[in-house]
Amino acid sequence: MKKIIAATVGVIALGFASSAMAASMVGTWTWNGYQITCAEGGAHGLSCKVDSGPSNVGMEMVESKMVMKDGAHVGRIKHPADGKTYNAMMKFDGDDKVVMTGATDDGAKASGTFMRKK
């Protein structure tokens, strides 16, 4: 019974972390000439689409649920410039800045800071 309760609490906590991430990311963000709009919903609880930029306009970036790990949200995110999927770690720096780092399965690395558009 204790294992069932612990598992249930873990699932609820995971759902809360995912929905907290979605709520925090709602809005429009800019990064290196790209504009990205994020909204709650979609296949993974958070949907972020490239609105404008040099490439991949219309692309959905979120490829998995974002889960909380070591004070950051982690998940699989498509890079707006190259369209590759990265195992990403996102950390908020205040309400209007998200620092993201990640690597593809084959080891390519990327990082960047997304700023909330006001």
Give the domain extent around 85: 2-116
Global model pTM greater than 0.85: no
For residue 19, the 8-state DSSP code is: H
Q: Single out the residue of 113, 108, 60 nearest to residue 86, CA to CA.
A: 108
What's the domain count of the chain? Answer: 1
- Torsion, Cα of 110, 52, 62, 109 (10° steps): -10
Tell me the pLDDT tens digit for each residue of 50-83. 999 999 999 999 999 999 898 899 999 999 999 9
- CATH code of the domain in which 48 resides: 2.40.128.520
